[in-house]
């Protein structure tokens, strides 16, 4: 049910398993999931998991079906671009809440439409004895081709454990499987590394370099605040960008990060909540919350991460609030309430969304950016969010600790040198064409770094892209930002352009 939230109404003045067996699904209605007509209802409940996922009927997915033993072509049924994502619910502290220490979601494509949707896995490449099943569907053709996708969620895994797996399936004795890949579930404690980078949409070579750095650094998880591709409805762009991070360019017989390291993106304005963007990634969501995959949260070591697709909050004008934005802000208020009450176990809160809330670059004064600031920054103040990562402006920029002007988001925030307030970080150089300073540097801006992009750099901005790594321990959270040096083959040859450490509040 869609409704305006009480928390939003109060804020309006501020911003004028290692388990075998079949999964279950509710029967489809209308066109029976055959792709002959209207929307379908399809509820996927992974075996051994405490959550269900219902694809939005408005997305128009066709041929929704559970795994079966129908025929699979040995050529057109080969799994492609296998990626590792995360399922689970979005209600912190409730059963089924997304948990990267025990849960994984596997998504892949095939050239043909079939219902093969299994993963077989184990802690040894020679003993992948556990099997879990999922579902398959087809995304209708848009700018690019129709796409046949398959997804399996697995719960009950052991934290901090390396698993080997293959995806595929088909009739007994004639199954078609992918090559063997491996991944490691996140540990529950200790030192954990998180890669954060955004805006890859113009240059897949730089995007690939960023992922080479993520592999070398052995990050435990990657989070992306939007704009992986330039045009979210173009399936061909997803295929190109995913291909570039699947097989290792230095060793085609090995893999880079896709399917090896967990990646959770949230949409930016270039994805624009397209059908293809929702189809291509496994993002925490559940059937109990509206607008699935437009918001999510998860606990990673000592950090609580919250991700918001800010398309709808960017459309708030005065007291005109899209229903989707009202629902998102209701959820965000509840999530941050739970996170702030859980500081003993997870002392840090980090938020990600696309539009740069405090910037000195191209989009700094755009109306949609100001609206997003008015919606999100007061909540970050209220719940003492430590870091907020954004993209959108193709640069690196970090603010001083800030408190928003809670009566008018067009006015300057309060700067608190040394205060435990929110620091806003834009790291948007994972392949996007560069921007630069568009006006005077603002008093709230502590650090700016621009880049030249493409395959070359210039004397003033000697980098072709950007990325950042968060290192979390039980007592500190450190962000290191890097500029990619042209021709550098290792992160140690890149330039560390900024470092900030946050202590528990």
- Mind listing the pLDDT tens digit for each residue in 322-354? 999 999 999 999 999 999 999 999 999 999 999
Q: pLDDT digit string (tens) for 478-492? A: 999 999 999 999 999
pLDDT of residue 38: 41
pLDDT at position 39 over 90: no
Of the candidate ranges 42-56, 190-204, 228-242, 430-444, the one whose mean pLDDT is the lowest = 430-444
What gap in Å lies between CA 390 and CA 269, rounded to an integer? Answer: 12
pLDDT of residue 363: 86
How much is the average pLDDT of 162-175?
97
What gap in Å lies between CA 369 and CA 373, rounded to an integer? Answer: 6
pLDDT at position 12 over 60: no
- Residue 229 contacts residue 276 (beta carbons within 8 Å): no
How much is the average pLDDT of 357-386?
94
pLDDT of residue 328: 97
What gap in Å lies between CA 234 and CA 241, rounded to an integer? Answer: 11
What gap in Å lies between CA 291 and CA 328, rounded to an integer? Answer: 8
- Per DSSP bridges, beta strands 262-265 and 495-502 are unpaired
Residue 97, token pair as written in the block: 């809440």
Nearest to 13 by CA among 389, 361, 419, 406: 406
To 10 degrees, what angle do helices 323-340 and 367-382 make? 30
pLDDT band at 77 (very low <50, low <70, confident <90, very high): very high
Helices (H), ranges, 358-496: 367-382
- Residue 417 contacts residue 454 (beta carbons within 8 Å): no
pLDDT of residue 18: 36
What gap in Å lies between CA 336 and CA 259, rounded to an integer? Answer: 30
Helices (H), ranges, 341-436: 367-382
What gap in Å lies between CA 472 and CA 301, rounded to an integer? Answer: 7
pLDDT of residue 408: 85
Q: The tokens 């050529």 sit on which residue? A: 75
pLDDT of residue 14: 39
User: Element (H or E) spanning 323, and its range?
Assistant: helix 323-340
pLDDT of residue 26: 52
pLDDT at position 260 over 70: yes
Of the candidate ranges 40-54, 127-141, 444-458, the one whose mean pLDDT is the lowest = 444-458
pTM for the full model? 0.92
What gap in Å lies between CA 25 and CA 184, rounded to an integer? Answer: 28
pLDDT of residue 2: 27
């Amino acid at each position: 049910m869609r409704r305006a939230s009480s928390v939003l109404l109060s804020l309006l003045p501020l911003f004028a398993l290692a388990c075998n067996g079949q999964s279950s699904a509710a029967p489809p209605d209308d066109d029976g999931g055959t792709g002959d007509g209207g929307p379908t209802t399809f509820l996927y409940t992974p075996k051994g998991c405490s959550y269900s996922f219902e694809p939005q009927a408005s997305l128009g997915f066709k041929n929704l079906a559970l795994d079966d033993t129908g025929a699979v072509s040995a050529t057109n049924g080969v799994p492609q671009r296998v990626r590792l994502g995360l399922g689970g619910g979005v209600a912190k502290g409730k059963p089924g809440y997304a948990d990267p220490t025990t849960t994984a979601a596997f998504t892949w494509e095939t050239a043909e439409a079939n219902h093969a949707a299994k993963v077989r896995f184990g802690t040894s490449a020679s003993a992948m004895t556990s099997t879990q099943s999922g579902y398959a569907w087809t995304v209708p053709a848009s700018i690019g081709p129709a796409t046949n996708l398959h997804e399996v969620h697995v719960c009950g895994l052991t934290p901090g454990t390396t698993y080997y797996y293959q995806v595929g399936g088909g009739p007994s004795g004639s199954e078609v499987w992918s090559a063997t890949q491996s991944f490691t579930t996140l540990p529950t404690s200790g030192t954990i590394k998180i890669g954060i980078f955004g805006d890859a949409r113009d240059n897949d070579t730089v995007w690939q370099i960023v992922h080479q750095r993520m592999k070398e650094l052995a990050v435990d998880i990657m989070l992306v605040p939007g704009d992986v591709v330039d045009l979210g409805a173009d399936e061909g762009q997803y295929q190109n960008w995913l291909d570039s991070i699947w097989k290792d360019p230095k060793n085609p017989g090995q893999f880079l990060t896709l399917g090896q390291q967990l990646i959770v993106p949230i949409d930016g304005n270039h994805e624009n909540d397209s059908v293809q963007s929702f189809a291509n990634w496994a993002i925490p969501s559940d059937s109990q919350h509206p607008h699935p995959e437009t918001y999510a949260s998860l606990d990673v070591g000592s950090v609580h991460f919250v991700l918001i697709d800010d398309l709808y909050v960017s459309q708030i004008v005065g007291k005109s609030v899209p229903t989707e934005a009202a629902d998102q802000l209701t959820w965000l208020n509840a999530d941050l309430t739970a996170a702030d009450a859980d500081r003993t176990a997870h002392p840090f809160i980090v938020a990600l969304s696309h539009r740069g809330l405090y910037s000195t670059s191209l989009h700094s004064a755009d109306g949609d950016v100001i609206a997003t600031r008015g919606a999100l920054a007061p909540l970050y103040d209220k719940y003492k969010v430590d870091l907020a990562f954004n993209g959108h402006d193709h640069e690196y920029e970090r603010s001083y600790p800030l408190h928003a002007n809670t009566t008018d988001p067009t006015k300057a925030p309060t700067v608190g040198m040394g205060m435990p307030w929110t620091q806003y970080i834009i790291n948007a150089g994972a392949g996007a064409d560069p921007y630069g300073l568009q006006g005077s540097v603002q008093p709230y801006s502590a650090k700016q770094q621009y880049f030249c992009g493409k395959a070359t750099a210039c004397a003033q901005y000697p980098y072709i892209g950007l990325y950042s790594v968060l290192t979390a321990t039980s007592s500190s959270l450190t962000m290191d930002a890097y500029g990619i040096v042209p021709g550098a083959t290792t992160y140690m040859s890149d330039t560390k352009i900024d470092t900030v450490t946050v202590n528990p509040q």
